[in-house]
Structure 1
Amino acid sequence: MDRLAISSGLMTATLSKNISELRQQIGTTSTEATTGRYQDLTLHMSGRIGKAMLGQKALTDLYTERDVLNLRASRLNLLQISLTNLQDSATGIAADMLNAIGTDHDIGIKTTARDAKTALDTIFSALNVRYGERFLFSGDATASQPFPDSSVLMNDVEQMASTATDTADFQTQLGAYFDSPTGGWLQNVYKGSTIASDPESVSADHSAIKSLISDLAVLAASGPDGTLSELTGYKDLVQTISLKLTSSETGITDLRADLGVFEERISTNLKNLATEETLLTEAFNQMTARDQYEAATELQSLQSMLEASYLITARLSKLSLTNYLG
């Protein structure tokens, strides 16, 4: 009876080991049946594992490059949306002001000046757009919001109008305000960087944007009750600025076209990566793919063997207990 008990114990231990191995194989095969890829590539590929790992690295690098391209595309899209808002906000203001000033229609001039101020508010808001924590129109100073409230600019324009001797003097002051490094534009209004090292970024100090803002600010201050209207040559100034605003809008279109070149390049690169991904994935799959039908069939077989092992173990346990009681 002792020999029988020892033999039964050895068989139970052997079965327990087999059960553990079967459960491990079932886990591995179940994963392979689901993923369609061998779990242990080193065992499956033997001496070819280096080639497979190079293929996998190439795919990983491709995914990283695609993520970077998608990030750049998202930023460019936000820039384009903001610049579109700039154009839409200014549309029609130049024509309305030219019509009103040409007919000496004070109500029309006042209404258009108010529209120019509203457009200016919208533009400042659009230029404060950010992607994550990065302000897109601040040049290299991406952590700095580029603009405060537009009232800061309007107060400065009103101040220049009140100190100017005539419209020519006002224009001289306005030019220095926007173009000089010590002018009010850089000292009081724009808080970003004048430098945009990334060719796909745009500083709100860009000449096209600055020109549009300057023109709208002057028109916003051109109401018949404002200080600017008291200067000699007021009517000619408003006509000149209105015509200039039309050119400034064209400048924004040109800027958008420049950004569109980058967008097209990114789109082309993404298409090329998609083609490359297809080829690399196919090559990698040929080396590492597991037939899912074959894996599922093997899984069923392993599960049947495991059930049988459990059954034998249970019977041995009962036999051992009977021997012990006998």
Structure 2
Amino acid sequence: MALQSIGDLAQGFVLRQQGAHLARETARLTREVSTGRTTDTARHLSGNLVPLADVERALTLADAHRDVARIASVDAEIMQTALGRVAESGEALAQAALTADSVGGAIQSTVLAQGARAALSTMIGALNTTSAGRALFGGDLADRSPLADTDTLLQELHTVLTAAPDATTLRSELDAFFDAPGGGFSTAVYRGGQAPAAAFALGAGETVALRIHADDAALRGQIKQAAMLSLLDDPALALGHEDRAALVRDMGTGLLSGQDGVTRLRAQLGFAEERIAQARSRIDAEITSLGIARNDLVSVDIFESATALEQVQSQLEILYTITARTARLNLASFLS
């Protein structure tokens, strides 16, 4: 039988090539044993990557919905806090107005007006609140504060009311400023959008909208009463002692009765918060399920990988032994 042999240089090359291959296999199997996941997805799935791509795409979409739901949850919480501040300020001011002993006295009028200005500033500040640079009560114009500042509002209102010759006209002008279409509030104070803000997409065809504007009738009513009380000590207003007393009582009563409207808005927002919380739970469950499906596709049998690793390591040890023995061969040893 004819024997074939290879030269020393070729033999060394073959041994190095086999050693490199076994080293790569050792590294691959070691990673698979430690992670439980394949290092060669295409080979593991026999080239059919469609199921894995579908799962990965669904996971990416679910992650995006989770981010949207988180933002919606934060926005709703901030808005709920803001509405709470409006309600608390209005209620406290109402109590102060209704318990005033002598609203006709200069000192009492000044104190009540100062408290009203503080409450008004709190209300406006709450409704101008932002989240990540977005105004939450401005509708589709989220890049600006929906309400002008307190000084601007009072200046605009002062200009209108000081022109009223009597208390009856003053009340009519007050109502027109805040409630009439094209009135001072809608043209000079409210700067937000008329269209609602975009709804949040939460996946599975579900959306939730946080569509409460700073010019909502309930919020506008609280601002209206507080603004009027803020000008209570203005001597330029055509108000006698009894007129001021009646105005304070009516504004205080209006603040209290208007609490129902603010409560309605808070309940509406609370319902949206509940839906967001349910959506977040659904999305988290979906992500968990998809994660399990992905792991099932790319996972390996750790026992089989460990067995294969032992075999490769044994082959590598044998190769090292052969290489070492080959390296010790020399002419003297060959001739002896």
Q: What is the Cα deviation at residue 37 of structure 1?
A: 1.9
User: Which one is further off, 277-286 or 153-162?
Assistant: 277-286
Superposition map of 1:26-37 within 5 A: 26-37=26-37
What residue is the counterpart of 1:60 in the other structure?
Answer: 60
Distance 1:70 1:33, change over 3 A: farther
Q: Would the alpha carbon gap of residues 162 and 294 (structure 1) be closer, same or farther in structure 2, given more than 3 Å must change?
A: same
**Contact in 2 for aligned 1:94/1:242 (Cα 8 Å):** yes
Name 1:270's counterpart in structure 2: 280
- The TM-score with structure 1 as length reference comes to 0.83
- Residue 226 of structure 2 aligns with an amino acid whose one-letter code is L
Q: For residues 187 and 14 of structure 1, do their structure 2 counterparts lie closer, same or farther at Cα, with a shift above 3 Å needed?
A: same
- 1:236 maps to 2:267: no
Deviation by residue 1:236-273 (Cα, 9 ceiling, x = unmatched): 12211111111223211111111111111111122223
The Cα of 1:67 is off from its aligned counterpart by 1.9
2:285 is equivalent to residue 285 of structure 1: no
The one-letter code of the counterpart of 1:290 is V
Compare 137-146 and 271-280 and name the one that shifted more.
271-280
Does 2:206 match 1:210? no
Report the Cα distance in structure 2 between the residues aligned to 1:211 and 1:249, rounded to whole angstroms: 9
| AA in 2 matched with 1:157 | L
Q: Check conservation: 2:157, 2:177, Cα contact below 8 A.
A: no
CA contact (8 A) 1:56 1:284 kept: yes
Paired residue for 1:256?
Answer: 266
1:202-228 CA deviation, whole Å, 9 max, x = no partner?
2211112111111111111113x5434
C-alpha separation in 2, matches of 1:321 and 1:75: 84
1:317 shift after superposition: 5.9
| Conserved? CA contact 2:85–2:123, under 8 Å | yes
Give the CA deviation at 1:302.
Answer: 5.0
Task: Provide the rounded CA distance (Å) in 1 between the counterparts of 2:120 and 2:289.
Answer: 51
In the alignment, what sits opposite 2:193?
Answer: 193
Alignment partners' CA distance in 2, 1:128 and 1:108: 30
> 1:167 corresponds to which residue?
167
- CA deviation after TM superposition for structure 1 residue 91, in Å: 3.0
Report the CA distance shift for 1:306/1:211 in structure 2 as closer, same or farther (over 3 A). farther
Assess if the C-alpha contact under 8 Å between 1:166 and 1:233 holds in 2: no
Q: Does 1:11 align with 2:21?
A: no
User: For the residues of structure 2 that align with 1:322 and 1:211, how far apart are their CA atoms?
Assistant: 110
* 1:39 aligned counterpart, secondary structure: coil
For 2:17 and 2:219, locate their aligned partners in 1 and report how far apart those are by CA, in whole Å: 76
3-state DSSP of counterpart to 1:100: coil
What SS class does the counterpart of residue 205 from structure 1 fall into? coil
Structure 1 residues 252-261 or 174-183, which shifts more? Answer: 174-183
**Alpha-carbon distance in structure 2 between the residues aligned to 1:297 and 1:202:** 64
Contact kept in structure 2, 1:69 and 1:270, CA below 8 Å = yes
SS at match of 1:38: coil
Structure-2 change in CA distance of 1:292 and 1:253 (3 Å): farther
| Rounded Cα–Cα distance in structure 2 between residues aligned with 1:60 and 1:105 | 67
Partner of 2:236: 227
CA distance 1:9–1:180, change in 2 (3 Å): farther
Percentage of matched positions with identical amino acids: 30
- TM score, norm. by length of structure 2: 0.81
> In 1, are the aligned partners of 2:98 and 2:252 still within 8 Å (CA)?
yes
Aligned to 2:184: 184
* SS of structure 2 residue aligned to 1:230: coil
Point out the structure with the larger helix share: 1
Letter in 1 for 2:111: T
Corresponding residue for residue 115 of structure 2 = 115
Q: Which runs of 5+ in 1 are unaligned?
A: none
Instruction: Kindly provide the CA deviation profile for residues 283-319 of structure 1, in whole angstroms up to 9, marking residues without a partner as x.
Output: 4333332345665665576567657756765775676
For residues 162-217 of structure 1, what are the alpha-carbon distances to aligned partners after superposition, in whole Å with 9 as ceiling and x for unaligned? Answer: 11112221122122222344322233222211221433232211112111111111
Q: How is 1:19-168 mapped onto 2 (pairs within 5 angstroms)?
A: 19-46=19-46, 49-101=49-101, 107-168=107-168
Contact 1:138–1:193 (8 Å) recurs in 2: yes
Q: For residues 47-79 of structure 1, what are the alpha-carbon distances to aligned partners after superposition, in whole Å with 9 as ceiling and x for unaligned?
A: 764334333333332222222222221221121
